Amino acid sequence: MNFHEYQAKQLFADYGIAVPKGIVARTPDEAVAAAKQIPGDLWVVKAQIHAGGRGKAGGVKLAKSHDEVHAIAKTLLGTKMATYQTAGVELPIDSVLVCEGTDIDKELYLSVLVDRDSRAITFIASAEGGMDIEQVAQEKPEAIHTLNVDFVEGLQAYQCRDLGFAMGLNAKQTNQLSVIMTGLYKLFNEKDLALVELNPLAILTDGNLAVLDGKINSDDNASFRHKDLVEMRDVRQEDPTEVKASQYDLNYVTMDGNIGCMVNGAGLAMATMDVISLNGGSPANFLDVGGGANKEKVTEAFKLILSSDKVKAIFVNIFGGIVRCDMIAEGIIAAVKEVGVKVPVIVRLEGTNVEEGKAMLRDSGLAITPADDINDGAKKAVAAASAA
């Protein structure tokens, strides 16, 4: 799950990390009221969307008066914004963050993530801020510093100091960095996060470090024990089909092809997408209905696939281990009857109660093409989609 910048900064503050004063606003008048509470004569009005790259897209603007704050908030609020990070999708700007404007001397980069190779929570830092970290990694890999934290020992003070000095910070800034890193490490662990990114972490002209942007991504598998985080979810920033899927506990990811897939098990779902591609087709989605799928879940899954008009054929590929083939068949029949199906449906069933399942589909009177195995099913689905 992703968070807005203002939510990330609130979490940072909760963990003892100093953030510049900022107040979220949902109308231009609220933005002015916010600016009045923030001392100084320079403000930054920032579009709150679940993506970075807002600066380049015109979503981060400096204001020198309350009137300017009003005008900027008015042009941003209620519109939609795409950035180089949104893959062509436009996200709604429902709120803006009004921040204290700061004088920046230099921009740094700091992130925390789980590094699978070293199996450790890892800090990544670079003194080359103001630039995409991916670009730094390619063009100047020596400028990127990584620090693996030993899971048992935890983050050590000397490690923070090492990182500060590696980035060329002075002693005072290194102390400030240590406070930030200690807070981030605690936050990361206690809230089961997957990624925290400060880009930029700035050195101000007065020599102090300041957290100017914050991005947080949490691990959905741990959502059940973080009700406070779940309450911060903003579904308006998410793909509507994926939101619907999550309500039924389905693993669904929208893709850009035209063959809808309904599969049980993430491994089989990946394999199904591969075999579709091998046969010259392209999947419209990844969908794992899970091992414990019931009839209702299967019905909802089928409805989700059918809700896209991009889908020209559906390939159901089920290996019934825990999940029973007759129950899958029941779900398919219920969904097709409820929604009405206008595209060819190719079904490969194997495993527990497969004969009952196949018989139910045969007797349903619905136009369903049976397939012998994954290759046969993928071939038939690709042929059906390209004939459409």
Residues of the binding site: 46, 53-55, 102, 107, 199, 213, 264, 321-323
* Binding flag, residue 169, ligand ADP (CB under 6 A): no
> Which is closer to ligand ADP, CB of 8 or CB of 245?
8
Q: What is the DSSP string of 124-177?
A: EEES--SS-HHHHHHH-GGGEEEEEEPTTT---HHHHHHHHHHTT--HHHHHHH
- Segment near ligand ADP (CB under 6 A), from 25-33, 45-53, 74-82, 336-344? 45-53
Least distance between ligand ADP and beta carbon 44 (Å): 4
Q: Is the peptide bond before 200 cis (omega within 30 degrees of 0)?
A: yes
Kindly tell me which residue out of 30, 74, 101, 131 binds ligand ADP, with binding defined by CB under 6 A: 101
Cβ 52 to Mg ion shortest distance, Å: 5
Tally of CB atoms within 10 A around 143? 17
Binding mask 119-158 for ligand ADP (x = CB under 6 A): -----------x----------------------------
The piece of 72-80, 94-102, 118-126, 377-385 that touches ligand ADP (CB under 6 A) is 94-102
CA atoms within 13 A on the CB side of 101: 15
With respect to ligand ADP, which residue has the nearer C-beta, 202 or 327? 202
Smallest distance, ligand ADP to C-beta of residue 131, A: 10
Residue 99, binding choice from ligand ADP, Mg ion, none, Cβ under 5 to 8 Å by partner class: ligand ADP
Query: Which residues lie below 8 Å from residue 334, measured CB to CB, with a gap of 6+?
Result: 295, 298, 299
Q: Which of 28, 164, 183, 200 binds ligand ADP (CB under 6 A)?
A: 200
Residue 190 bears catalytic tag: no
Query: Which among 368, 181, 348, 167 is positioned nearest to 275, based on CA atoms?
Result: 348
Size of the site for ligand ADP (CB under 6 A): 19
Nearer to ligand ADP, 208 or 279 (CB): 208
User: Rounded distance, CA 176 to CA 380, Å?
Assistant: 61
Half-sphere exposure of 380 (CA within 13 A, CB side): 21
Instruction: Give yes or no for residue 204 binding ligand ADP (CB under 6 A).
Output: no
Q: Which amino acid is at 132?
A: D
Q: In this complex, which beta carbon is closest to ligand ADP, that of residue 215 or of residue 379?
A: 215
Q: Residue number with the shortest CB distance to Mg ion?
A: 213
The listed partner (Mg ion, ligand ADP, none) that binds 107, CB under 5 to 8 Å by sort, is: ligand ADP
> Is residue 197 among the annotated active site residues?
yes
Q: Are the C-beta atoms of 83 and 57 separated by less than 8 Å?
A: yes
192 binds, among Mg ion, ligand ADP, none (CB under 5 to 8 A by kind): none
Which strand (E) or helix (H) includes residue 71? Answer: helix 66-76
Q: DSSP states of 332-388 as a string?
A: HHHHHHHH---S-EEEEEEETTHHHHHHHHHHTT--EEE-SSHHHHHHHHHHHHHH-
369 forms bridges with which residues in the sheet?
Answer: 346
Q: Which is nearer to ligand ADP, 59 or 283 (CB)?
A: 59
Give the Cα separation of 317 and 381 in Å (integer).
Answer: 11
Nearest distance from C-beta of residue 165 to ligand ADP, angstroms: 24
3-state helix, strand, coil in the chain (%, to 5): 40, 25, 35
* Binding footprint of Mg ion on the chain (CB under 5 A): 52, 199, 213
Radius of gyration of the chain (CA): 25
In the set 5, 128, 185, 197, the catalytic residue is: 197
The rounded distance, in Å, linking the Cα atoms of 34 and 27 is 10
If one asks whether residue 53 binds ligand ADP (CB under 6 A), the answer comes out as yes
Out of 33, 89, 104, 195, the residue judged to bind ligand ADP by CB under 6 A: 104
Q: Taken in order 151, 157, 163, 166, is the CA torsion positive or negative?
A: negative
Name the residues that contact ligand ADP, by CB under 6 A. 20, 44, 46, 52-55, 60, 99-102, 104, 107, 130, 199-200, 212-213
Catalytic residues: 109, 197
